[in-house]
Amino acid sequence: MNGPLLKVENLTKHYPLGAGLLEKNVPVVRAVEDVSFSVEAGETLCIVGESGCGKSTVARLLMRLVDPTCGRVLMNGIDLARLKTHELRASRRRMQMVFQDPYSSLNPRLTAGQIITEPVENFERLSRKQRNALAADLLRKVGMRPEIMHRFPSEFSGGQRQRLGIARALALQPSLIIADEAVSALDVSVQAQILNLLLDLQQQIGIAFVFISHDLGVVEHIGHRVAVMYLGRIVELAPCEALFAKPAHPYTEALIAAAPVPDPTRIRLELSVEGEVPSPINPPGGCAFHPRCPLAVERCRIEIPPLVPMRGGRSVACHVRSDLDHTPTRSAWTLPPTKAS
Ligand code: ADP
Ligand code: MG
């Protein structure tokens, strides 16, 4: 198979506000603007950004739970929008989703075994024996004992429920799983177990992930490449290590500096990103980050910066930083004076 597993081209989603769909010039929420990226087989692409920047909308567009305003999604080179309903159903097998809330995403009236085998039974009838065998196999894959297949969701902890959510996503043997804040509701120790489970599954069966999180610590642990979103757009896309070692976009830099640092040997810069995240209904002109950016020049107020490829597989949407042919060595942000000074 040549080419990427998943290719996203200029994906855009505007939600019109209010009922007046026939009126001209209704205000729209620009949830996702001109987003392009690809995912290779067996790769984990993380999408990070603050709440409201459009991450879940990207996930819904990938799953075709909502239709794009423009742009397209190609799976193995095939445009999902061109598929007939039954073909779309078949291609959906290849892409599955794990949700944030393991409490509301599992039907409380079904047993664990019924829940995780349900996706397969939507396609083919299973005998009781087949269903039990499949359930046992899926439970083992996510590190649970087969005996628990007869229990109900209410009998499980948050981490166990998320394991069931993952088992259900695996049932159709997808080549890609989209996980939207899949560990965000869990305790830190349970988070680590689930992340390690995902890493193991990737090693064993070569599955690819689009892993969405607002938590940079989680992303650093699991990502091969990272896309940073700000107000509906990707502002930086880079290999995980390079992104954390030398963020190129001033926004990425601020995000990393603001994240809690588990490793005390790493220096934490106290950056103050001034102001609130602007509204996606009326985003600032030019670069949407310019009102908060210490590097902003006149051009940033006028021209939207395109995502420009730089060295080392990194792309940056910044007029100042993408003009440089190397990753900057100096911070965009001036350091606040230390207490002693
Ligand atoms: P994230 O997952 O990064 O927190 P979302 O994709 O959920 O962000 O939301 C992006 C923006 O789109 C937000 O401003 C949100 O309010 C808006 N939005 C999401 N879904 C809808 C919808 N169905 N109708 C109107 N606005 C929406
Ligand atoms: Mg979300």
Rg for the chain (alpha carbons), in Å? 22
Ligand 1 atom with the smallest distance to the CA of 181 is 2
pLDDT at residue 245, as a whole number? 92
- Band (pLDDT 50/70/90 cuts) for residue 23 is low
In this structure, the residue with its CA closest to atom 24 of ligand 1 is: 15
Work out the average pLDDT over 151-162.
94
In this predicted structure, the answer to whether residue 336 has a pLDDT above a threshold of 70 is no
Q: What is the dihedral of CA 56, 172, 200, 228, to 10 degrees?
A: -20
In this structure, the residue with its CA closest to atom 5 of ligand 1 is: 54
In this predicted structure, the answer to whether residue 137 has a pLDDT above a threshold of 80 is yes
Angle between helices 112-121 and 158-170 (to 10 degrees): 20
Q: pLDDT higher for 152 or 17?
A: 152
Work out the average pLDDT over 24-44.
92
Q: What is the dihedral of CA 41, 256, 313, 209, to 10 degrees?
A: 10
How many A from CA of 213 to the centre of ligand 1? Answer: 15
Q: Which helix (H) or strand (E) holds 112?
A: helix 112-121
Q: In 3D, which of 238, 236, 193, 235 has the Cα closest to residue 220?
A: 238
pLDDT at residue 264, as a whole number? 45
How many A from CA of 158 to the centre of ligand 1? Answer: 25
228 ligand 1 Cβ < 6 A: no
In this structure, the residue with its CA closest to atom 20 of ligand 1 is: 57
In this predicted structure, the answer to whether residue 29 has a pLDDT above a threshold of 60 is yes
283 ligand 1 Cβ < 6 A: no
Which strands form 233-239's sheet, in the order they lie side by side?
95-98, 176-180, 208-213, 44-48, 225-230, 233-239, 315-316, 308-309
Report percent pLDDT > 90 for the chain: 66
Q: Mutation test of ligand 1: which of 11, 33, 56 has the most ligand atoms closer than 8 Å to its C-beta? A: 56
Cite the beta strand spans of the chain per DSSP E: 6-16, 28-39, 44-48, 70-75, 78-79, 95-98, 176-180, 208-213, 225-230, 233-239, 308-309, 315-316
pLDDT tens, position by position, 38-82 = 999 999 999 999 989 999 999 999 998 999 999 999 999 988 888
Kindly report the backbone phi and psi dihedral angles of residue 240, in degrees, each rounded to the nearest multiple of 5, phi listed first. Answer: -55, -50
Work out the average pLDDT over 230-244.
96
- Do residues 68 and 130 make contact, with C-beta atoms less than 8 angstroms apart? no
Comparing 101-110, 179-188, 202-211, 280-289, which segment has the lowest mean pLDDT?
101-110
Q: pLDDT higher for 89 or 159?
A: 159
Please report the DSSP string for 260-277 in residue order: --S-TTS--------SPP
Query: Which ligand has its closest atom nearest to the C-alpha of 62?
Result: 1
In this predicted structure, the answer to whether residue 324 has a pLDDT above a threshold of 80 is no
How many A from CA of 280 to the centre of ligand 1? Answer: 9
In Å, what is the CA distance from 249 to each residue of 246, 293, 294, 303, 323? Answer: 9, 10, 11, 16, 12
In this structure, the residue with its CA closest to atom 18 of ligand 1 is: 31
Q: Mutation test of ligand 1: which of 11, 17, 29 has the most ligand atoms closer than 8 Å to its C-beta? A: 29
How many A from CA of 51 to the centre of ligand 2? Answer: 7
Three-state SS for 48?
Answer: strand
The residues facing 309 across adjacent strands are 315
pTM for the model stands at: 0.91
Domains of the chain and any CATH numbers: 6-17+26-94+174-247 (3.40.50.300)
Angle between helices 158-170 and 128-141 (to 10 degrees): 120
Query: Which ligand has its closest atom nearest to the C-alpha of 50?
Result: 1
Q: Mutation test of ligand 1: which of 14, 15, 281 has the most ligand atoms closer than 8 Å to its C-beta? A: 15
pLDDT at residue 268, as a whole number? 43
pLDDT at residue 337, as a whole number? 45
The residues facing 112 across adjacent strands are none
In this structure, the residue with its CA closest to atom 22 of ligand 1 is: 15
In Å, what is the CA distance from 335 to each residue of 212, 293, 294, 339? Answer: 30, 14, 12, 12
62 ligand 1 Cβ < 6 A: no
